[in-house]
Amino acid sequence: LWLCKKKPPVVTIMGHVDHGKTSLLDYIRKTKLTTKEFGEITQAIGAYQIEFKEEKITFIDTPGHAAFAQMRARGASVADIVVLVVAATDGVMPQTKESIKIIKEAGIPFIVAINKIDLPEAEPERIKGQLTENEVFVEGYGGNVVAVPISAKTGQGIDQLLEMILLTADLEELKADPAGVLEAVIIEAKSDHFCGPTASLIIKNGSLSKGQQIFADGVEAKIKMLKNEWGKSVEKVFPGDPVLVLGFTSLPKVGVKVTPSKEGQGATFEEKGFSKSVQETGKEKFRIILKADVSGSLEAILGCLPQEVSVIGQGVGEVNDSDVLLAKTLKAEIYTFNLEPDAETRKLAQTEKVKIKNFNIIYDLLKELEERILKILEPNIDRKILGKAEILATFEMKGEKIAGAKVLEGKINKSQPVILQRGEKELGQVKIVSLKQQRQDINEAVVGTEFGAVFSGKVDFSSGDMILSFSLEEK
């Protein structure tokens, strides 16, 4: 009987464009291949396996841009370990930040590879500082995230990187049961003239043999042939192995789970992983991907977003499939400004149940967001406004910022929460820690009177802003 055995770690490379992901994969493939004879053969799968210090490591490759976009959205969940590549010249860039978010959401162990250190302008220490600003704390900078300086050009540091991958795999105790129930993930799918629909999988548990029947989210396959990454036919594959499967009845979707029966279908691995990590963090934010027609409007919207919104992706230009997949993976909604998605992306969004909302007025977009947040944070509760006051002046005393305000409507009660508002924009919700009239502590300021208030919470305010006192009532 087989028991759980150590399995080769499955590794994905993430990071900003041009930071050297492809070069790193190429270098490792070129120098660490198990069998020399495969050197001349084209790789058949977007993944390959190497042997280093007598241990196997599977790298998920990223052939072509479209596939890479999908893998970026879903790749993190297939992988056991992520290598985050950051160029020592450019440093942390937008896609680096996006990758950090995905990695953290997925809760996957990762290693930072600071690449291009062969270049004279490389500044690895500066990059470590930038990573700290993005809450990636590497060794020597208040944390224990491993950062390996490498050059995908000269090969410097690559052995160390591979060693760190194996060490991380050991620490994570990556195990699988080769005799257990099959679990695999589709990493690519394409139709071939000769072979019909084919898909590449990574085995996570159990094994897969020729003749076996499998299901991938409703798509069935009776396996006609299994091929390894070098196109060679194989009889059986095990956890950690990449494999090309022939025999699907139609094209399965990338990212879906493969099982030996129809039961347990429909959920992809990342969905489980991500919802778990959201629960663990406790404070759920409303996640969006924001896209706008021009950078001016994108910046303007980003500058006005309510605190409760977490932007997990942003950009100028049309919504594409990778935005939709990223939104699905991270349970986000897509908000666009002056952009209509094309029919195909809309269709994908429909099947993946991702909401895309377009606006032509920034104010409308922000208003919609605020309404959504209220619904999410307090689904069955309405705010009842008890009073309004206008801030006439602000001053500082003993390091505290005081709002001098006048009640315009109703009353401001010290025990109720208040919202600070600038025009139509909500600055945030705070509590009143001190409420005074002529140096006397009071509990309530009524309409027409002036008062001074100190708030708890880090919301900045200035004269002209409104204070809204409210109570929460069940619907």
Cα dihedral 431→434→436→442 (10° resolution): 80
Pick between residue 22 and residue 394 the one whose CB is nearest to ligand GDP. Answer: 22
Pick between residue 99 and residue 320 the one whose CB is nearest to ligand GDP. Answer: 99
Give the residue from 74, 52, 369, 382 showing the smallest Cα distance to 60. Answer: 74
Report the distance separating Cα 57 and Cα 353, nearest Å. 35
Neighbours of 144 (CB within 10 A): 9
What are the DSSP calls for 395-416, one per residue? Answer: EEETTEEEEEEEEEEEEEETTS
Pick between residue 59 and residue 335 the one whose CB is nearest to ligand GDP. Answer: 59
Pick between residue 115 and residue 469 the one whose CB is nearest to ligand GDP. Answer: 115
Instruction: Using DSSP, state whether 474 is helix, strand or coil.
Output: strand
Report the distance separating Cα 326 and Cα 63, nearest Å. 18
Of 34-42, 116-124, 260-268, 286-294, the segment contacting ligand GDP by CB under 6 A is 116-124
For residue 353, what are the CA distances in angstroms to 325, 327, 349, 359, 396? 10, 10, 6, 19, 50
Exactly one of 118, 123, 271, 321 binds ligand GDP (CB under 6 A); that residue is 118
Pick between residue 116 and residue 388 the one whose CB is nearest to ligand GDP. Answer: 116
Exactly one of 11, 12, 19, 416 binds ligand GDP (CB under 6 A); that residue is 19
Exactly one of 41, 119, 302, 393 binds ligand GDP (CB under 6 A); that residue is 119
Report the distance separating Cα 399 and Cα 349, nearest Å. 50
Give the interface size with ligand GDP as a residue count (CB under 6 A).
Answer: 14
Give residues 130-189 in contact with ligand GDP (rule: CB under 6 A). Answer: 151-153
Residues forming beta bridges with residue 227, ordered by sequence position:
233, 244
Counting every residue written for the chain, the total comes to 475
Nearest approach, Cβ of 14 to ligand GDP (angstroms)?
9
Nearest approach, Cβ of 320 to ligand GDP (angstroms)?
17
Nearest approach, Cβ of 187 to ligand GDP (angstroms)?
17
Pick between residue 151 and residue 297 the one whose CB is nearest to ligand GDP. Answer: 151
Exactly one of 4, 5, 6, 18 binds ligand GDP (CB under 6 A); that residue is 18
Exactly one of 4, 5, 6, 23 binds ligand GDP (CB under 6 A); that residue is 23
Nearest approach, Cβ of 88 to ligand GDP (angstroms)?
8
Report the distance separating Cα 455 and Cα 401, nearest Å. 8
- Interface residues with ligand GDP (CB under 6 A)? 17-23, 115-116, 118-119, 151-153
